[in-house]
A and B are shown apart, each in its own frame.
Chain A
């Protein structure tokens, strides 16, 4: 029988305060980065604008494109090189100045004119009106809030109210860290990243529930032990499963990150960070909160 760790017996709970501080520090750094950058870097999905990806016959570098666009009257255009299908493509992003004007065609015509000897192919066009942008932002926020709400109800029903709160805090912790990471790296928050957040929520929760499930079981089985011991045992019991599932998930997410192509690159990065943080949080955030809660407000039922 192959085992990663033979009969693990780590005392996770004694380190919980250190873990809390580490988490708080990471979240703080992320939030500071967000503030310094003047808020999240919303993609055109949420603020409206145009994003086109062009594939030139002969690669054009970012600086050239930036100065070209500046000359053509788009000094605010963002230009980024994206690697896809073995080619270096250019992503151009413009915040739309007014609704209704056909800026895409305008920009395309000007570029065609300017790069007469270097034809390009339009790989993709995304054009979002500012109005739709606001709607999407609202819907995304609603999605996250609604999913958290339903999760609280389900966990409260299946476990206890405080398990639900502990789980939710862990989820918010995970999302905040990945959010901060995106601010630090100055990556765009798009609809796809919101989807990644919800997936992280689902994944992290899955992990947390498995530990909680074992706690629920061990609380009954080890009723003469302290809660700290019960929780430590539960985490150790499920540790190899936690590592195993995280490993297989990480394998595919890393593959997606490397081979998935430019379009889902950032999405895969969010998942990658989310899986790591989600695994960490079910051990070092969700369960320790139960311990803290018990110190602060002991629950009779769990000690019976």
Chain B
């Protein structure tokens, strides 16, 4: 090679190394700064007793008034307090700015390393179809159920094909339920699909709002395909909470509770059906044991008022109106509080029908649910009514029970009428058990308030159920007309639960039924374990491979070792410089690269040895060795690269990280072996005329 070319090559290598170090710098710096931050937070924790987890999570969140908290701590001497306040201000100021700057350029850690949630949501097309359908009837429900079953049995089946076939089998044009009568099935399916896409876009916005309020640093919410949404929440501490916040539809509805006589009648009707059906099959059943079993399941429900639904005790404004409106009297449990199984009343004996609500022991809930689910029973319930359960089990005197309500199917008002939802603390004045618990106060838009006033005004004495996602949260009695459109929801057990409820109500309900179809959550400690294990493996791997190479190839082995180190630096620099994310499989890829990267050098060295053995001079052997190994290295690495590219293309999530590090590693090892090692050999052979080569 010409001297000038060599100079250019060497400058190129030097420039690349500098560039790599430049890109690696933020990662190293960010690591050091995080360590410093943890030390400083540990100090604050030591002085203030604020849990370290909370400090770590909230230190850069300005909606959390840390300064105020520190000011309010008692028994802290003033110098320490001042010191802590300065410390926090500094951390949130200059330190934060500096940290965010280096973090922008540093290697990002995947959710599996830093901990976090990865959730994939999908719009359920069948449910969307149900919602869009007009004039639903039994045939439609049958078709819908059949479509659902078929799609469940074969998840890869095409929705359109299944729907089209089902309607064809029933010999019914889809236009009977959708769009206008002249539209073809194809047009209607396109319409459903378009609705799904629009719903996804809207869902995306609503989820963004919810997640923003939830307070996660750097959440990512993206659309995948036409029907899926991927939500990534790094560093989430409470996955259950996050799952609830994202996955729930949050459809708020106000529904009137059916009048007692109607409830009683329908319950009796159901009883008849169940009885008839049980009688028919009783021959096959051992009635006695069945009875025995049921009887042991029955127990006595406490005779006191079962559940007291209080009204607003929270903020004064909401309280005054609300308290005046709804009295907190509760439908008492009927006189007869003892359940006794009665063969003549198989259904009724499972329940205790009160004025407005039905009390069901936890043990009997499954049976009641099953009976209600029977098709014959469903047919008997007039379509304008439906059974809904209270959202939570109640417990009194050791007995666990549920409330079941018969309500009007039609919602008087929905969450769309809300303008705001805020959390207040219950004073516990009307219900001491709930003191200090969160209550969500709803404020309605002008039109919603007007409607609410009309509803309350014309239904005084009735009970109004507040239904969230088909679960009843409360069903207080309307005492007077409420003109200003304010209402409350109570029952949240923790402030967080109330907070989350307020968040989802503010963001609004999701326009389409979405479901979590995939979730990958890694807790912070597992992530930390993985990083530790990965880093340890990588370091031990590098050291052992380096010792091995130096032992086998002596002087030349050191050149290979240098190339190996450079290889790892390049790999990390590319990850940092291009903003790639490092995942656990990615670390595995790096470690594997360490083992495989020396291959190119081994191929070259073996060739040089062969050339030396054939009696060539050192310089000639080196030239020939590099020359002849070149083709081999190219062919061998390109085929491995093909496997890597395919893996990257087809792989999902973290696997992409593995393919990525593997591919970068292969390219880097080709460069370090063919160019950098060559440059070092050239330098050694030109400065000293070697008679022998340490290889």
Contact = CB atoms under 8 A, between A and B. Distances in A.
B335 to A, nearest CB: 34
A248 B595 contact: yes
Given A140-B650, A206-B637, A53 B526 contact: yes
A126 B652 CA distance: 14
Contact of A261 (B530, B602, B695): B530
Contacts of A146: 646, 649-650
B647 A147 contact: yes
Contacts of A237: 610
A209 B523 contact: no
Contact of A105 (B240, B548, B602, B640): B240
Given A155-B639, A206-B639, A251 B655 contact: no
- Nearest 7 pairs between A and B by C-beta? A131-B155, A252-B595, A202-B643, A143-B650, A85-B529, A129-B517, A261-B533
Nearest to A247: B548
Contacts of A134: 155-156
18 contacts: A84-B526, A99-B152, A123-B522, A126-B519, A146-B646, A147-B642, A150-B642, A154-B639, A155-B639, A192-B585, A195-B658, A202-B662, A241-B599, A248-B599, A249-B599, A256-B592, A261-B533, A267-B588
Contacts of A209: 632, 635-636, 639
Given A1-B695, A123-B523, A151-B639, A256 B606 contact: no
Contacts of B609: 1
A241 B156 contact: no
A1 B553 CA distance: 7
Given A99-B517, A255-B537, A264 B585 contact: yes
A28 interface: no
B128 to A, nearest CB: 14
A255 B651 contact: no
A208 to B, nearest CB: 9
Contact of B646 (A1, A99, A143): A143
Contact of A55 (B239, B525, B530, B659): B525
B596 interface: yes
B534 interface: yes
A129 B588 CA distance: 27
A130 B610 CA distance: 57
Interface of A: 1-2, 53, 55, 84-85, 98-100, 102, 104-105, 108, 121-136, 138-140, 142-143, 146-147, 150-151, 154-155, 158, 191-192, 194-195, 198-199, 201-203, 205-206, 209-210, 213-214, 237-238, 240-241, 244-245, 247-253, 255-256, 259-261, 263-264, 267-268, 271
B594 interface: yes
Interface string B602-623: 1100100110000000000000
B650 A251 contact: no
A261 B533 CA distance: 6
B638 A127 contact: no
Interface magnitude class on chain B: 35 or more
B599 A245 contact: yes
B544 A251 contact: yes
B591 A252 contact: yes
B595 A253 contact: yes
Contact of B525 (A121, A140, A213): A121
Contacts of B545: 248, 251-252
Interface string B138-181: 00000000000000100110000000000000000000000000
A79 B646 CA distance: 34
Given A256-B537, A259-B540, A271-B592, A124 B598 contact: no
B120 interface: yes
A283 B655 CA distance: 30
Contact of A125 (B239, B553, B554): B239
A248 B240 contact: no
Given A191-B655, A213-B632, A259-B537, A122 B521 contact: yes
Contacts of A192: 585, 655
Contacts of B537: 252, 255-256, 259-260
A99 B152 CA distance: 8
Given A140-B650, A248-B545, A263-B526, 11 more contacts: A104-B243, A126-B519, A127-B520, A199-B658, A202-B662, A213-B632, A244-B602, A251-B545, A252-B594, A256-B541, A256-B588
Given A205-B639, A255-B537, A142 B650 contact: yes
Contacts of B576: none
Contacts of A256: 537, 541, 588, 591-592
Contacts of B584: 263-264
Interface in B507-536: 515-523, 525-526, 529-530, 532-534, 536
A136 B651 CA distance: 9
Contacts of B610: 237
Contact of A143 (B120, B639, B647): B647
A205 B596 CA distance: 13
Given A85-B525, A248-B598, A131 B156 contact: yes
A202 B639 contact: yes
Nearest to A149: B646
Nearest to A239: B606
A136 B652 contact: yes
A199 B589 CA distance: 9
B235 interface: no
A125 B521 CA distance: 5
A202 B652 contact: no
B155 to A, nearest CB: 3
Contacts of A99: 152, 515, 517
B515 to A, nearest CB: 5
B642 A241 contact: no
Contacts of A250: 595
B8 interface: no
B374 interface: no
B552 interface: yes
A260 B534 contact: yes
B498 interface: no
B247 interface: yes
Contacts of B655: 191-192, 194-195
A168 to B, nearest CB: 11
A125 B519 contact: yes
